[in-house]
Amino acid sequence: MAFWSSTSVFTSKVPRKILFMFTLSLSVTYLFYSLMSCYNSLRFPLQENYVYQGRLVTEDTTFGTLREKLYSASQGFAEFTEADGSTAAPTARDHADADADAERRTVEWIRTQASPTKPAAAAAATAPEHQERQDFSTTDSELRVNCTSDYGEKRLPQAIIIGVKKGGTRALLEALRVHPDVRAVGNEPHFFDRNYEKGLDWYRDLMPSTLEGQITMEKTPSYFVTNHAPKRIHSMARDIKLIIVVRNPVTRAISDYTQTLSKKPEIPTFEVLAFKNRTLGLIDASWSALRIGIYALHLESWMQYFPLSQMHFVSGERLIVDPAGEMAKVQDFLGLKQIVTDKHFYFNKTKGFPCLKKPEDSSTPRCLGKSKGRTHPKIDPDVIRRLHKFYKPFNMMFYQMTGQNFEWELEEDSESRSSQD
């Protein structure tokens, strides 16, 4: 009785408001220590978390942070390789059994305030339980791949390198892949010439994941000489951007032959294949190595579906002599910030063409493989002279169609003077 009496006296003397505030402060203190004890479970490993070190991050700042990291990766000459796998970030659900009621309410409030983007929310929802947490000390190259695959989505290409074979398309693609806003499939899909019946869903699935603002690309040089490719590409995306790397057609033909010779040593000589009748000087324009170089003929088909404003022609010769200059034009055409500059290249004397400078975390430079830069067989100078004469009217027509002079005739004059010396 005495106890209940004293309790009633105490409660009567202490206002209920103070009791309520006291109880609330205890609850808040308990909640604070609960959150501190599970702090590691509430944070994500990368800086693009929606809550990072007690700071709310909105959708805009999240993607801004991603973009900054991608640019810094490029500036550090990070090595970019094709990586299709992705690791989803661990979520607070992995620790949901701890202090269930209080923590669940807190996490829900945090998620509501942070407003995560749809791709990130999907990645978090599909993360396997007890997944090993990534360390924050991720290298720049890993960060680029992980961020893109976690937060991006597969899209059809907005730009395609459509030609030409042995013109320098691989070198161009590898240089473009250094840019943080370009994501390109490594292998040639050959969708519009060999695999069209598989459908656009199959084609899209080949593409790497991209963030909003990044460009999806692919390259298949045979598109340029495929009759039905222009119509098919136009039906997919009439506003797509097309890149064509062209090279002196005579040099290109010899390079094409050299590649075939390395695979089939038993084939006839270049001189034999180039002529229907060498005595009469009849050149065999049906031979694919020579037919590809009639650029004006192939360009005519593309201009039926696309304006020149959606095409960009890269000089294969200048891509070797001045790769940074050609890359500046390509980046402008694609609407990209000029990230890939002369500091990304060095001239490899053994290969005879530029290579990308080695990444800081690699002991070897980034250079094209053994299939590039092969030594050409010696060709009869008279055959080369006749081929230059054959291509000259087609080259003039190509210059007129594109509004660009690639000056291939100057090479012919130089070779003529060398043969006379």
Indicate the helix (H) or strand (E) that contains 351.
none
Q: Are 31 and 102 in contact (CB under 8 A)?
A: yes
How confident is the model over 159-164, as a mean pLDDT?
A: 98
Q: Strands 241-246 and 311-315, how do they pair?
A: parallel
How confident is the model over 351-365, as a mean pLDDT?
A: 64
CA–CA separation, 273 and 289 (whole Å): 9
Phi-psi label, residue 400: left if phi above 0, alpha if psi -120 to 50, beta otherwise: alpha
Residue 164 is predicted with a pLDDT of 98
Q: Are 216 and 158 in contact (CB under 8 A)?
A: yes
pLDDT over 70, % of the chain: 61
Residue 168 is predicted with a pLDDT of 94
Out of 57-71, 129-143, 155-169, which region has the weakest mean confidence (pLDDT)?
A: 129-143
Cα dihedral sign, 156-158-159-162: positive
Which token pair is 329? 């034009």
Mean pLDDT of the chain: 75
Residue 248, classed as helix, strand or coil, is coil
Q: Is the pLDDT of residue 51 over 60?
A: no
Residues 6+ apart with CB under 8 A from 61: none
Residues in the annotated binding site for 3'-phosphoadenylyl sulfate: 166-170, 247, 255, 372-376
Residues in the annotated binding site: 166-170, 247, 255, 372-376
Q: What is the pLDDT of residues 379-410, one digit of tens each?
A: 999 999 999 999 999 999 999 999 999 999 98
Q: Is the pLDDT of residue 45 over 80?
A: no
- Residue 292: phi and psi, rounded to 5, are -60, -35
Cα dihedral sign, 373-378-381-382: negative
CA–CA separation, 256 and 176 (whole Å): 23
CA–CA separation, 149 and 159 (whole Å): 20
Residue 201 is predicted with a pLDDT of 97
Work out the burial of residue 36: count CB atoms within 10 Å of its CB; fewer than 13 is exposed, 13-18 middle, 19 or more buried.
exposed
CA–CA separation, 113 and 272 (whole Å): 74
Beta-bridge partners for 346: 355
Residue 128 is predicted with a pLDDT of 37
Per DSSP, 57 falls in state -
Q: Which candidate in 165, 166, 219, 241 is catalytic?
A: 166
Residue 151, classed as helix, strand or coil, is helix
Top-confidence residue, 161 or 100 = 161
Out of 66-75, 95-104, 298-307, which region has the weakest mean confidence (pLDDT)?
A: 95-104
Q: What is the largest CA-CA distance in the chain?
A: 130
Residue 332 is predicted with a pLDDT of 98
Beta-bridge partners for 347: 354
Q: What is the pLDDT of residues 323-349, one digit of tens each?
A: 999 999 999 999 999 999 989 898 877
Is residue 421 very low, low, confident or very high in pLDDT (cuts 50, 70, 90)? very low
Q: Are 214 and 181 in contact (CB under 8 A)?
A: yes
Q: Taking Cα atoms as reference points, which of 214, 240, 241, 210 lies closest to residue 337?
A: 214
How confident is the model over 88-111, as a mean pLDDT?
A: 42
Which token pair is 39? 């702090």
Top-confidence residue, 321 or 360 = 321
Residue 123 is predicted with a pLDDT of 39
Residue 397 is predicted with a pLDDT of 98
Residue 48, classed as helix, strand or coil, is coil
Beta-bridge partners for 47: none
Q: Is 166 a catalytic residue?
A: yes
Q: What is the pLDDT of residues 278-305, one digit of tens each?
A: 999 999 999 999 999 999 999 999 999 9
